[in-house]
């Protein structure tokens, strides 16, 4: 059962992201074809490209987009061939996401639910992929319970993939607070730390972590509106160069804690009964 503190958090999150969505709802733009093209043959330098590469062919897959916001990824994953359910606590974000899905001709491939994850009535064992982009760090006080309910909604052996800000290097975090760059945040959000990753691993035992974004932190100065596709060739080349350096550096084990963004991926394990079932089916 939800506690008073849960309702307060949900309300705070919904209010913050409603305000963000209201800034954008004037233009319900369809998904940009250049974005789709980028992820149809993804590279591995950027967290989302790498994530699409990890997931492979999405045609016919059922995906849950957790904390889908305004549906940026819901639409993208649907254009890549998946049937996508986006869930988010912000009514305005959900409204905008579903309007954008219709404007993109993706109404039949997408389904939007406005609910906190913990209160949603998701079907059991339904999704092939549980996807979350920048959402777990909003759910830290309820991380364990959240992952448990996501695991219930996932098929046996389903893929889990999260793109999250991480803080695995306390010195770097202290330096970050000395740099006067303002970012809007909701109360209680922070990058994931080692203990949080351990909780994720409890639910996704084969968890793999790929770290990104050390010099890539400078991207915010090169792409002020965050839109890579709209940037000039020179800016895009610079952004790529930063990510090339990061890609090389952050694969070195002693350097990986310098990354500020991590792709976490693995599978929901099979229960004992499910394993027996799989073995019996394999034996004919």
Ligand X SMILES: C[S@@+](CC[C@H](N)C(=O)[O-])C[C@H]1O[C@@H](n2cnc3c(N)ncnc32)[C@H](O)[C@@H]1O
The footprint of ligand X (CB under 6 A) covers 10, 13, 17, 67-69, 72-73, 87-90, 93, 116-117, 133-135, 138-139
Whichever of 122 and 222 has its CB closer to ligand X, that residue is 122
Q: Is residue 257 within 8 Å of 193, Cβ to Cβ?
A: no
Task: Please write down the long-range contacts of 52-55, taking CB distance under 8 Å and 24 or more positions apart.
Answer: 52/80, 54/159, 54/161, 54/263, 54/265, 55/129, 55/131, 55/159, 55/161
Other beta carbons within 10 Å of 149: 15
The dihedrals phi and psi of 125, each to the nearest 5 degrees, come to 55, 40
**Smallest distance, Å, CB 2 to ligand X?**
10
Q: Is residue 85 within 8 Å of 108, Cβ to Cβ?
A: no
**Smallest distance, Å, CB 48 to ligand X?**
9
Q: What residues pair up with 58 in beta bridges, in sequence order?
A: none
Whichever of 135 and 239 has its CB closer to ligand X, that residue is 135
- Got the DSSP string for 230-254? GS-HHHHHHHHHHHHHHHHHTTSGG
**Smallest distance, Å, CB 77 to ligand X?**
11
Whichever of 97 and 259 has its CB closer to ligand X, that residue is 97
**Smallest distance, Å, CB 165 to ligand X?**
9
Whichever of 2 and 244 has its CB closer to ligand X, that residue is 2
The dihedral of CA 69, 72, 75, 80: what is its sign? negative
**Smallest distance, Å, CB 133 to ligand X?**
4
Whichever of 37 and 186 has its CB closer to ligand X, that residue is 186
**Smallest distance, Å, CB 248 to ligand X?**
26
Whichever of 88 and 246 has its CB closer to ligand X, that residue is 88
Q: Is residue 51 within 8 Å of 60, Cβ to Cβ?
A: no
């Amino acid at each position: 059962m939800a506690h008073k503190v849960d309702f307060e958090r949900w309300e705070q999150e919904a209010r913050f992201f409603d305000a963000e969505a209201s800034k954008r709802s004037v233009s319900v733009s369809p998904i940009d074809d250049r974005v789709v093209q980028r992820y149809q043959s993804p590279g591995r330098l950027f967290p989302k490209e790498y994530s699409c590469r990890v997931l492979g062919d999405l045609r016919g897959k059922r995906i849950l987009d957790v904390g889908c916001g305004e549906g940026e990824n819901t639409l993208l994953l649907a254009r890549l061939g998946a049937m996508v359910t986006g869930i988010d606590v912000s009514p305005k974000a959900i409204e905008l996401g579903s309007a954008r899905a219709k404007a993109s001709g993706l109404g039949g491939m997408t389904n939007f639910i406005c609910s906190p994850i913990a209160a949603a009535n998701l079907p059991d064992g339904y999704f092939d992929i549980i996807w979350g982009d920048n959402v777990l760090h909003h759910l830290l006080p309820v991380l364990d319970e959240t992952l448990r309910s996501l695991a219930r909604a996932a098929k046996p052996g389903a893929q889990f993939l999260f793109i999250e800000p991480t803080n695995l290097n306390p010195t770097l975090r202290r330096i970050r607070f000395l740099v006067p760059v303002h970012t809007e945040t909701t109360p209680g959000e922070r990058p994931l730390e080692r203990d949080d990753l351990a909780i994720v691993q409890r639910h996704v035992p084969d968890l793999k972590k790929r770290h990104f974004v050390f010099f890539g932190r400078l991207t915010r100065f090169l792409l002020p509106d965050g839109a890579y596709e709209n940037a000039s060739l020179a800016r895009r080349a610079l952004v790529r160069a930063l990510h090339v350096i990061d890609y090389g550096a952050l694969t070195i084990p002693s350097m990986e804690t310098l990354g500020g963004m991590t792709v976490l991926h693995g599978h929901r394990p099979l229960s004992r009964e499910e394993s027996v079932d799989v073995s019996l089916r394999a034996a004919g």
